[in-house]
Structure 1
Amino acid sequence: MSSQQSPSPAEAKSPRPPAPTTTVTALDDDLLREIFLRLHSLPTLVRAALSCRTFFHAVRSSPAFRRSFREVHPPPLLGLFFDPDGPSIPAFAPLRRRSDPDLAAVVRGADFFLTRLPDDDDDDAALPEWVIYDCRDGYILLEHGSLEQYAVYNPLTRALDLIPQPPDEIFDDQHGDASCLGCYILSSQEGGEPLRLVYTCHDESRARAAVFSSESREWQILPWSEPVRPLPEDEHWLKVGTMANGFVYWTHKNQAYILVLNTVTLQFSQMDVPPDLVDQDLMFKVGETKDGRPCIVCPIDFELHAWVWRAGQDGIETWIFDKKFSLETIVEVTEGTFEQHCELKTTR
């Protein structure tokens, strides 16, 4: 006769509970950033960051990661801001790429309506007065005349910094009338550096700069430059400036030279225009090439002519004519008027 044996203590134990499931949101920020670095484009990264708070914090809390990502993935052009004259909020026109769902998702999720910009609370009937001064590293620099302040805003991350205008002391010791030349972003905190702006102005013969740092929250006013020669013939003797490759360039209205500000040394200097543009009443623009060299583009006889600043055959750097191309194709594609093109500003 056989007897039934009782189960051993080990066999009598209940089965082990299943191991807890690890989800991607449970990963630490460093590991998430290692994964995000392998995404194929900035729009894909932004779309991932906007999908949950954990991802958003991992991206937003590390300027070093964002800098590394930009080095691997150059930012695409998202669209154009129209900055019309008169009180208004700049209008954004996104580029339509139906084949890129990530880019479309970024545009839908970003604040290109600039809703976080403050209003004039003292006047309910006042119209918005924000004007774009500069766009750099995804940040927009705007000025509000009535509020007497600047705003540095990133529509993708909604990071906003409000900055007072430079003190009136910047116009001390001016010669004749003085006017603002513009304000530019030197660094936007994306690289881990403090936010820095440079404000520029001129009087009847000199220029001056003031630098703002988010560390001190103060403006540092620099000395007036040396007077230019020959002296300007009118009050507003410089055209709108352009920042390129660490320099700001202003074309003289009546003379064949360009006023240059080195944003590292904060020193002013002068450079000649290309010989072909001397004594010519032509509208041209200073910019930079893909490799960071200064360039000048100028429309002549419905063609766009380009010069690049580089070494000539004698080894001395000067303006070298590079290329020209017809404007007919551009006009046919854009179908825009001259006035509309003047109001365009781009952001990346």
Structure 2
Amino acid sequence: MASEPLAAPPPKRRSIPPTTTTDTITTTGGKGTTTVSAAAKGTTTTITTTTITTVSTTANGTTITTATTTSNATTTTTSTTATSADTTISSLSEDNLREIFLRLPDLPALVRATLTCRSWLGVVRSSLAFRRLFRALHPAPLIGLFFTSDTYPFFIPLRPSDSDSDSNPGCDSDVTAALRRGDFFLTSLPQSFSGWTVTDCRDGILLLWNKLDNNDLSLATLNPMTWAVNILPLPAGIADGSRRHLNFVGFHLQSSEEKPWLFRVICVCTNKRRVRAAIFSSETWDWVIQPWVRIGGNNSLKFKVGSLVNGSIYWPFHGEGHMIRINTDTLDTTVVDLPEQVDAVNGCNFRAGDTKDGELCIVYHSGLLLHVWIRSVDSDGTEIWVPQNRISFSAEIDRFTQDLPDFIRIVQVRSGYVYLSMTYMTPAGTQRRSFFSIALDTLVLDLLLEGAFDDYVYPYIMAWPPSLVADDGRIGHDAEGSL
């Protein structure tokens, strides 16, 4: 069958854009003006018609009317430039990114965000001011406790409170992942566990003392998160000038906020009525030994009761109503009086420490009352102790111990938190210990852990990760994806 040609489609009707028409008629004398405006998308056309009527009479009386019409059309085109108001991530400034990062819920969330790309990592690594502000707004989490024992130290992780889990469900999984990757069994120590004991813990680093190595007593620093270990010999010559046996009463760890990979170790020892300190620097890998200083008394500095606050060691001088202060920068040794109300009992019922703002404070317990003083300066420029709070926690303690007899010891006061241990006997005749923390600003008491543990305990707080710090303000290389 022959095909027939298809009929051509009808011509497409030209679309007429919608218009808006406005008529204006004006008549004055014999002059009339009509204005018509038509507005379409993007254009406006204005037509103005002017009619002039002239009336004249001839000589024979005939009237002649003459109308002259003039039209003028004007078309105006309005151009519209579309500008994009969209903002991309790459267009954000460093200040914008830091403002966003400050709103993250915690330190693990910041680590995940900054490891997303190189530029974001550089924004955080290059700013010490940001690190300080973030740490002030989001205190690093307490993730566990290190205990000492007769054989080896051990770590017990803490479960987050229900309120923490509800406000930030991801924090628990982040901390768990960090614990799994870390060396919290201390397997990176070069020797067996026997002989090592924890003597301080600060900014995520442990300070351990090997007291059973008879060949050479040694110290070690260990970062469980990064597995970094440093073995340090004790200072040679520290016993020089001592007429009797030398007593090591404590070791302290001091880190640097600007350069977290650097640290110092302060060793405090006594010889009857004298004291001296030795300071090790990881930057020079050497010790500086303070001369012997006579403090009087009768060997009144007890083991492991000193506190490091703002670059000075504060050690209770029992039976004398004061503390000694050793400035770790100048090695000067001075005496600081205690508040009159403090009745020291073997260093167990009071501790020097610092508030969240870094102020020196004294926390003293009498029964189930906590008394807090902060070091301040009066109008004459004299340093004084200013009483702050008197905290009663009998109801909270009774809630956990069911009115059992107890013995309370202040373990540590650091960054605005008081850590307490309480020893009590159960109805079955077994000894138990509970560990608590009290926030000095909110006065909230939390039960951290309970069981049959030694009361020499060291809270482990997650430190600022080395991957978020640059030694020269630059990125340098891609960071590892770890805390």
**Could you say which TM-score interval applies, normalised by the shorter chain?**
0.7 to 0.9
What residue identity is the alignment partner of 2:272?
Answer: E
Q: Tell me if 1:343 matches 2:343.
A: no
Question: Residue 213 of structure 1: which of 275, 281, 292 is its match?
Answer: 281
The residue aligned with 2:294 is 227
Cα shift at 1:195: 2.2
Question: Residue 72 of structure 1: which of 134, 138, 146 is its match?
Answer: 134
What residue identity is the alignment partner of 1:92?
Answer: I
Question: Residue 155 of structure 1: which of 224, 235, 241 is its match?
Answer: 224
Q: Which runs of no fewer than 5 residues in structure 1 stay unpaired?
A: 1-23, 25-29
Q: How does 1:122-137 map to 2 (within 5 A)?
A: 127-137=193-203
Distance across 2 between alignment mates of 1:286 and 1:186:
16
- Relative to structure 2, which stretch is displaced further, 309-318 or 34-43? 34-43
What residue identity is the alignment partner of 1:88?
Answer: Y
Distance across 2 between alignment mates of 1:35 and 1:312:
38
The residue aligned with 1:272 is 337
Distance across 1 between alignment mates of 2:353 and 2:320:
19
Question: Residue 118 of structure 1: which of 178, 183, 188 is its match?
Answer: 188
**CA 161–94 in structure 1, closer or farther in 2 if over 3 Å, else same:** same
Distance across 2 between alignment mates of 1:279 and 1:113:
38
**CA 72–129 in structure 1, closer or farther in 2 if over 3 Å, else same:** same
Question: Residue 283 of structure 1: which of 349, 352, 365 is its match?
Answer: 349
Task: Give the structure with the higher percent strand.
Answer: 2
Question: Residue 83 of structure 1: which of 123, 135, 147 is its match?
Answer: 147
Question: Residue 260 of structure 1: which of 325, 342, 356 is its match?
Answer: 325
The residue aligned with 2:386 is 320
Distance across 2 between alignment mates of 1:43 and 1:65:
18
RMSD: 3.7
Distance across 2 between alignment mates of 1:333 and 1:77:
25
Task: Give the structure with the higher percent helix.
Answer: 1
Q: Tell me if 1:172 matches 2:240.
A: yes
Q: Tell me if 1:242 matches 2:242.
A: no
Distance across 2 between alignment mates of 1:143 and 1:36:
42
Q: How does 1:10-21 map to 2 (within 5 A)?
A: none
What residue identity is the alignment partner of 1:85?
Answer: S
CA contact (8 A) 1:238 1:250 kept: no
Residues paired across the two proteins, number = 311
CA contact (8 A) 1:37 1:69 kept: no
What residue identity is the alignment partner of 1:187?
Answer: S
**CA 265–313 in structure 1, closer or farther in 2 if over 3 Å, else same:** same
CA contact (8 A) 1:306 1:321 kept: yes
- Relative to structure 2, which stretch is displaced further, 171-180 or 103-112? 103-112
Q: Which runs of no fewer than 5 residues in structure 2 stay unpaired?
A: 1-88, 402-420, 424-432, 436-454, 462-483
CA contact (8 A) 1:237 1:254 kept: no
The residue aligned with 1:19 is none
CA contact (8 A) 1:311 1:317 kept: yes
- The one-character-per-residue Cα deviations of 1:133-181 (angstroms, maximum 9, x if unpaired) are 222222222223345433323333x151313232341111113232112
Flag the structure with larger Rg: 2
What residue identity is the alignment partner of 1:153?
Answer: L
What residue identity is the alignment partner of 1:98?
Answer: S
**Kindly, what percent of the aligned residue pairs are identical?**
25
Question: Residue 204 of structure 2: which of 116, 138, 158 is its match?
Answer: 138
